[in-house]
Amino acid sequence: MSTRQTTSPDAGSVDAVETAVDAARESTTRAGGAGIPGPRPESPVAPVPPGPVTMAKALNAALADALAADAGVVVFGEDVGTLGGVFRITDGLAARFGTERCFDTPLAESGIAGMSVGMAINGMRPVIEMQFDAFAYPAFEQIASHVAKMRNRTRGAVAMPIVIRIPYAGGIGGVEHHCDSSEAYYAHTPGLKVVTPATVTDAYLLLRAAIDSDDPVIFMEPKKLYFAKDRVDLDALKEQYESGDGPRAALESGGAAVARTGTDATLIAYGPSLPTAMAAAAAAQEEGRSLEVVDVRTIVPFDDATVAASVAKTSRAVVITEETGFASVAAEITARVQQRCFHSLAAPVLRVTGFDIPYPAPKLEHHFLPSVDRILDAVDDLQWED
């Protein structure tokens, strides 16, 4: 493996994920139905002026706006009420909307998921938080057997408008059971939509769309990006969402986006891996290579058209995810690209992922996570004629 010395991307870039690129590079070196409570009078809330906004704040604003827009929306989970969540994503919601709309539950993930099914059957729109990625596994039977299958089981008669928020992936030095990349479990379960934002704007828009969806959505929030900032106007985002169908359409047909244009190869990433891919593309530019970066955003449904168009243009591709490589989302993306772009490819599609081991201890996670160096090494292996 090479030991490249990379430098920071242009400080003047306004790309939404550039705010997290420096941190990524640093890590390489070290509705109304039965039982719905009535709305409570809201306390005055000062408007948020345009300025640097964290992903955590954008998610909080999305939840607040959804609660205000629909009396059927309820938010619950472990420590989401009084505490405001471990990462403070639900901060202030219980005080503003009341403990009937935002409340704490026992530490029983299976019960949380099961209760959300009953609420959804009765016309509510539950948004539940699993607190940490690996904490969600006790709820998986409920998710796979009931949340994912109920609409199909009833021939569409019973919708499942449930959002399951899961803080996931690494980069925070979390101990065992506090960091995991579990997206493949959910992506492999028919009936679930799987979404993971990488930018502040997408965090707001996609969460609003997920809450409005009549299908269950696994909303995977990259923990290490919670406090990445971007200059956005939350009021403008609210207006954008409520006046258009873009984010909703993304949940129906897939919503990948080109985060950086390039001509020589395509880096395909999502969620926590996107800032690392952007940092690698910036470093590659200094070496004379132009890399395009595609942000998948919606793992299920997957946007084959956007991804395939980029790879057909560049003729080479590297898929980057933090999960283990075997039987992974990265493996599925690689197969789909290989199938759709076979006659355009100048080299096999390569992957840069976590290793096929249990998630490592905090002091070792920087070896496990994809890095700029590992990505650039993969790009070097794309059978260049020179």
pLDDT in tens, 249-301: 888 889 999 999 999 999 999 999 999 999 999 999 999 999 999 999 999 99
Q: In terms of pLDDT, which residue wins out, 244 or 7?
A: 244
Half-sphere exposure of 361 (CA within 13 A, CB side): 1
Asked if residue 301 has a cis previous peptide bond (ω within 30° of 0), the answer is yes
pLDDT at 245 (0 to 100): 81
CA atoms within 13 A on the CB side of 360: 15
Residue with tokens 């928020």: 165
**Range in 18-22, 56-60, 81-85, 102-106 the model is least confident about:** 18-22
Q: pLDDT digits over 66-94, tens only? A: 999 999 999 999 999 999 999 999 999 99
188 is catalytic: no
CATH class of 256-380: alpha beta
Mean residue pLDDT of the chain comes to: 88
179-183, 316-320, 325-329 — which is least confidently predicted? 179-183
Is pLDDT of 100 > 50?
A: yes
Of the candidates 54, 109, 103, the one whose C-alpha atom is nearest the C-alpha of residue 223 is 54
Is-same-fold flag (51-253; 256-380)?
Answer: yes
| Per-residue pLDDT at 32 | 33
**Residue 177, pLDDT above cutoff 70:** yes
CA torsion sign for 110, 177, 374, 356 is negative
Spelled out in words, what is the top-level CATH class assigned to the domain 51-253? alpha beta
User: Which candidate, 191, 198, 206, places its Cα nearest to that of 251?
Assistant: 206
So what's the pLDDT on residue 248? 87
- The Cβ-side half-sphere exposure at 165, using a 13 Å CA radius, reads 31
Q: Please write the tens of the pLDDT for every residue from 118-174.
A: 999 999 999 999 988 888 999 999 999 999 999 999 999 999 999 999 999 998 888
Closest CA to 270 of 256, 253, 249: 256
What global pTM score does this model have?
0.86
Domain boundaries in the chain?
A: 51-253, 256-380
Both tokens of 299, joined, read 């793992």
The neighbouring-strand residues paired with 76 are 103, 128
Residue-wise pLDDT for 29-74, tens only, equals: 323 333 334 444 444 555 655 679 999 999 999 999 999 999 999 9
pLDDT of residue 28 exceeding 70? no
**pLDDT grade for 7, boundaries at 50, 70 and 90:** very low
How far is it, in rounded angstroms, from Cα 63 to Cα 228? Answer: 18
Out of 146, 177, 178, 343, the active site residue is 178
Closest CA to 14 of 273, 171, 200, 288: 200
